[in-house]
Amino acid sequence: MQNTEDEFYAWLRSVASNRTTLRLGIGDDAAVVDIAGTDCVVTSDLLAEGVHFEADTGDFMLVGRKALAVNLSDLAAMAATPVAVTVSLLLNKRQGMRAAKNLISGMSPLAAAHEVALAGGDTNSWDGATIVSVTALGRLEGEPLTRAGARPGDAILVTGTLGGSILGKHLQFDPRVREAIALRSDFEIHAAIDISDGLALDLSRMASASQVGVEIELAHIPISAAAYELASANSNGKSALERALSDGEDFELLLAVPPADAQRICEQGVLGIDVTNIGRFTVARELYRIDEQGKRRPLEVEGYTHGL
Ligand SMILES: [Mg+2]
């Protein structure tokens, strides 16, 4: 899937119309559009019944919250401040207005917490699956933070802990909007991405976009309690570390930061959230993992062949 998806994006970039008002186009966490001299950050994500949630078991309020949160997470990855969202609903007729109200009610507290206006959208119904699509708009202080700015020698930092989000975090996570903005205002941050598809895959995307390589220290990766819980239940034979490397939907921030700033950030954390240094970016455009014995091996990126 990832191969296909990334191939599609490459094709899309080759055919998409471009304008000088498009400051940052397809391929990052969000786009940046110049509107009358002001940068507007825009991103869009959808959740579909049968793909991302099930109508019979899913809690539509949590689905609504998540539909907003994934968009806010993409704005966070640009260090953008959310301003407004539009919400488009394609509802299954049997679920009707009740589902619609639950979806919106689930979004509202998170929208309020981030002072985001619900500016509009569209609603339709049909006999098929329910789909919720959110488009979020944000503003920037200064230049956009992209995934393409990592430099050799930069430390690789991650917020929070990783792995096992399926146990609940994938629905209840806090998008790291304030954390990203605080880090951006107090420190030199070269690049950022939100971890939506797993640490290894999203790190490989940042390395590819930045034209650098990486070395990660496996012993330093902050593994979540949920990852340990799933590993001990041995649900699919994956270790807690493997889960931290490859599980998706943690929505933590992955950052490229010069070493001196990285040390200060890790010492103090950000807004009560731990930040961990897990390795470094390198000149050689290859991906490596260093184990506890100091042995260096290629980092395998599950489901994705990186094109470095
Ligand atoms: Mg993203």
The structure tokens listed for 8 are: 């599609």
Give me the helices (H) in the chain, please: 2-15, 60-77, 96-113, 169-172, 177-186, 199-210, 225-233, 240-246, 259-268
Kindly report, residue by residue over 160-199, the tens digit of the pLDDT. 999 999 999 999 999 999 999 999 999 999 999 999 999 9
232 C-alpha to ligand 1 centroid (Å): 29
Is 137:84 a contact under the CB 8 Å cutoff? Answer: yes
191 C-alpha to ligand 1 centroid (Å): 12
pLDDT at position 305:
39
228 C-alpha to ligand 1 centroid (Å): 25
pLDDT at position 235:
67
HEC string for 161-218: CECCHHHCHHHHCCCCHHHHHHHHHHCCCCEEEECCCCHHHHHHHHHHHHCCEEEEEH
Kindly report, residue by residue over 17-59, the tens digit of the pLDDT. 778 888 998 888 999 999 999 999 999 999 999 988 888 777 9
Secondary element (H or E) of residue 86? strand 81-92
Mean confidence (pLDDT) of the chain = 93
Kindly report, residue by residue over 67-77, the tens digit of the pLDDT. 999 999 999 99
252 C-alpha to ligand 1 centroid (Å): 10
pLDDT above 90 covers a percentage of the chain that reads: 81
Q: Phi, psi at residue 270, to the nearest 5°?
A: -140, 120
134 C-alpha to ligand 1 centroid (Å): 14
Kindly report, residue by residue over 79-89, the tens digit of the pLDDT. 999 999 999 99
DSSP 49: B
What's the rounded mean pLDDT across residues 231-244?
89
179 C-alpha to ligand 1 centroid (Å): 15
Is 64:105 a contact under the CB 8 Å cutoff? Answer: yes
**Identity at 221, one-letter amino acid code:** I
pLDDT at position 7:
84
**How far lies 221's CA from each of 35, 36, 47, 276, in Å?**
40, 43, 29, 7
28 C-alpha to ligand 1 centroid (Å): 7
Residue 238 pLDDT greater than 70, yes or no: yes
The structure tokens listed for 21 are: 């008002």
Q: How far apart are CA 18 and CA 95, in angstroms?
A: 40
Residue 236 pLDDT greater than 90, yes or no: no
pLDDT above 70 covers a percentage of the chain that reads: 97
pLDDT at position 63:
96
Give residue 304's pLDDT band: very low, low, confident or very high (50, 70, 90).
very low
What's the rounded mean pLDDT across residues 81-104?
94
Q: How far apart are CA 195 and CA 165, in angstroms?
A: 11
**Residues written for the chain:** 308
Residue 307 pLDDT greater than 70, yes or no: no
Give the contacts of 171 (CB within 8 A, at least 6 positions apart): 59, 62, 63, 65, 66
DSSP 219: G
The structure tokens listed for 113 are: 């917490």
213 C-alpha to ligand 1 centroid (Å): 20
193 C-alpha to ligand 1 centroid (Å): 6
The span from the first CA to the last CA of the chain, in angstroms, equals 19
29 C-alpha to ligand 1 centroid (Å): 4
- pTM above threshold 0.85: yes
pLDDT at position 9:
83
Kindly report, residue by residue over 107-147, the tens digit of the pLDDT. 999 999 999 999 999 999 999 999 999 999 999 998 889 99
